[in-house]
């Protein structure tokens, strides 16, 4: 009997997993203890072994795709075993009824199964290309309907919350249907495309998917066949100029929205999408001058002044669709800001000794230390002296972290990521510098591992290199505090009763008032100031 294998919970905080790599293919023999796949969790990429023996009959999550815990991962059973009932989510009773209907040899039932999912037809859904991805946007299609697709060919470029990534096909055949047009977004697991043998009745497959994929309730083949000519006829009408005479105009939702905002008449736009469908780029490339002569002939006096008063395509306000990564950042920072009662403490630090110490250290061979490295080292040491700041709010309890994992905010093209330096209090200045450089570099090149961005106990955000003198940050949950570091400036200061030129730097500590009281935060800043104003104490 076939065994259903679900996405395992490989860590206590894991809610979903991504298949990094399959080590077995459909049709391969599997022994108990064999490694089936490498699965990326919220902690690390781990090997997942089989607890069953048999033949790998089905893979439910392709490489690079993610799914929640307990989703269908694979099916193992006897070679040639019928697993259609398991794939359709039927119960054992419904499976038994299906066997009864097949044994009755009713001819109408045979085509009904092929209508549901014909042999060789593969349903391609929006993949989960990152562990935090909830929806994706098709940036561009590299294949068109009717094109032959080989396994490994790049189907499309998909924008995730991390980056725009190429999505390759895991199947061979003909691209029969595109479910999400360029520029449009959809949740993970939405219908992306259909690949199968040339000539397959796509409408029947789409109808079966819309009805839940049950072969019993699937419509007979006569219905899709009778509708097919209507679809072709209507698509031909879109391509003709007569579309402006009241016939239906096919356009994507995004194209309709942009056209409405820009005041573009869809009947004047020629679609370049599938079946003459108007897509986003058709609206953006539409030239308003094309409609001016027709308007003049119609005797409309406003047509001549409309392009002058409201130039189409030259509006001062542009609405840009948010990337998935930007949505995730907004969601998490919003949750932090509105759930944790923030308050802010700011001090000004004398950096004269820090500048002199850094100059001496960097004078040594093969040594390079930045002011940011000094701030990180000072924070790590101050956290050991003030453990109340190194905590997390947990409802009825407060979690004290006896280790110091320092989060460092890094700006990337798509937003903000926070690589984590583990056990920062045990690293020297030069080791901290090397760790920051390595993590920040891999974060910008999208090569950083998920577990290298988790587990922080305190976070530092530095905008001093941009000339920002002072700012406040939102706490990186579940931390209790975050330090905002400004630029070092030269200005008049009072020393020993005299006005002299000195170098100062403002730092602001944002605290969660549920765990860190005002006096505790102030004492932490006093200790931090002592380390920064006397760097030699950090080496003692």
Helix/strand/coil for 464: helix
Parallel, antiparallel or unpaired: strands 191-196 and 122-125: antiparallel
Partners of 168 in the β-ladder:
154
Query: Kind and range of the H or E element at 348?
Result: strand 342-350
Q: Is 525 exposed, middle or buried (0-12, 13-18, 19+ CB in 10 A)?
A: buried
Q: Is 518 exposed, middle or buried (0-12, 13-18, 19+ CB in 10 A)?
A: exposed
Q: State the catalytic residues.
A: 513, 517
User: According to the 3-state scheme, what is the secondary structure of 252-284?
Assistant: CHHHHHHHHHHCCCHHHCCCCCHHHCECHHHHH
Give the number of residues written for the chain. Answer: 540
Cα–Cα distance measured from residue 433 to residue 375, given in angstroms and rounded to the nearest whole number: 11
Q: Is the peptide bond before 478 cis (omega within 30 degrees of 0)?
A: yes
- Using alpha carbons, select from 186, 171, 173, 225 the residue that is nearest to residue 203: 225
**CA torsion angle for 224, 230, 236, 237 (degrees, to 10)?**
-150
Cα–Cα distance measured from residue 269 to residue 290, given in angstroms and rounded to the nearest whole number: 9
């Amino acid at each position: 009997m076939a065994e259903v294998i679900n996405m395992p919970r490989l860590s206590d905080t894991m809610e979903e997993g991504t298949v990094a790599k399959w080590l077995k293919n459909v049709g391969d023999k599997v022994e108990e203890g064999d490694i089936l796949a490498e699965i990326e969790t919220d902690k690390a990429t781990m090997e997942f072994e089989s607890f069953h023996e048999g033949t790998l009959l089905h893979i439910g999550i392709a490489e690079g795709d993610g799914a929640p815990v307990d989703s269908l991962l694979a099916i193992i059973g006897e070679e040639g075993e019928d697993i259609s009932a398991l794939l359709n989510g039927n119960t054992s009773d419904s499976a038994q009824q299906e066997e009864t209907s097949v044994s009755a040899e009713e001819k109408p039932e045979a085509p009904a199964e092929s209508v549901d999912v014909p042999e060789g037809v593969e349903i391609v859904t929006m993949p989960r290309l990152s562990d935090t991805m909830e929806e994706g946007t098709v940036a561009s299609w590299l294949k068109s309907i009717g094109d032959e697709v080989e396994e490994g060919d790049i189907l499309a470029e998909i924008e995730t919350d991390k980056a725009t990534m190429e999505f390759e096909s895991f199947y061979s055949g003909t691209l029969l249907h595109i479910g999400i047009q360029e520029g449009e977004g959809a949740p993970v697991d939405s219908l992306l495309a259909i690949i199968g043998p040339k000539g397959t009745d796509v409408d029947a497959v789409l109808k079966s998917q819309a009805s839940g994929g049950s072969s019993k309730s699937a419509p007979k083949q006569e219905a899709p066949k009778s509708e097919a000519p209507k679809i072709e006829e209507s698509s031909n009408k879109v391509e003709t100029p007569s579309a402006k005479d009241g016939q239906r105009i096919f356009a994507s939702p995004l194209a309709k929205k942009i056209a409405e905002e820009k005041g573009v008449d869809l009947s004047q736009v020629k679609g370049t999408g599938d079946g003459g469908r108007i897509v986003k780029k058709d609206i953006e490339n539409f030239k308003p001058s094309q409609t001016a002569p027709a308007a003049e002939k119609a005797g409309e006096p406003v047509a001549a002044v409309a392009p002058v008063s409201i130039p189409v395509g030259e509006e001062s306000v542009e609405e840009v669709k948010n990337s998935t990564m930007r949505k995730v950042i907004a969601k998490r920072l919003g949750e932090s800001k509105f759930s944790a009662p923030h308050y802010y403490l700011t001090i000004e630090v004398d950096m004269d000794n820090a500048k002199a110490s850094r100059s001496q250290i960097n004078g040594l061979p093969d040594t390079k230390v930045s002011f940011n490295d000094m701030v990180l080292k000072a924070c790590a040491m101050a956290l050991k002296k003030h453990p109340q700041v190194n905590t997390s709010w947990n409802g009825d309890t407060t979690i004290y972290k006896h280790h110091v994992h320092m989060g460092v905010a890094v700006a990337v093209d798509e937003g903000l990521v926070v690589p984590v330096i583990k056990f920062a209090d045990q690293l020297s200045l030069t080791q901290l510098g090397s760790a920051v450089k390595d993590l920040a570099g891999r974060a910008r090149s999208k090569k950083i591992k998920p577990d290298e961005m988790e587990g922080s106990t305190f976070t530092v955000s530095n905008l001093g290199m941009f000339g920002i003198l002072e700012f406040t940050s939102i706490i990186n949950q579940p931390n209790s505090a975050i330090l905002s570091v400004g630029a070092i400036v030269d200005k008049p200061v009072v020393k020993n009763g005299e006005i002299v030129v000195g170098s100062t730097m403002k730092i602001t500590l944002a605290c969660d008032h549920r765990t860190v009281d005002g006096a505790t935060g102030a004492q932490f800043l006093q200790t931090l100031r002592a380390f920064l104003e006397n760097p030699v104490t950090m080496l003692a």
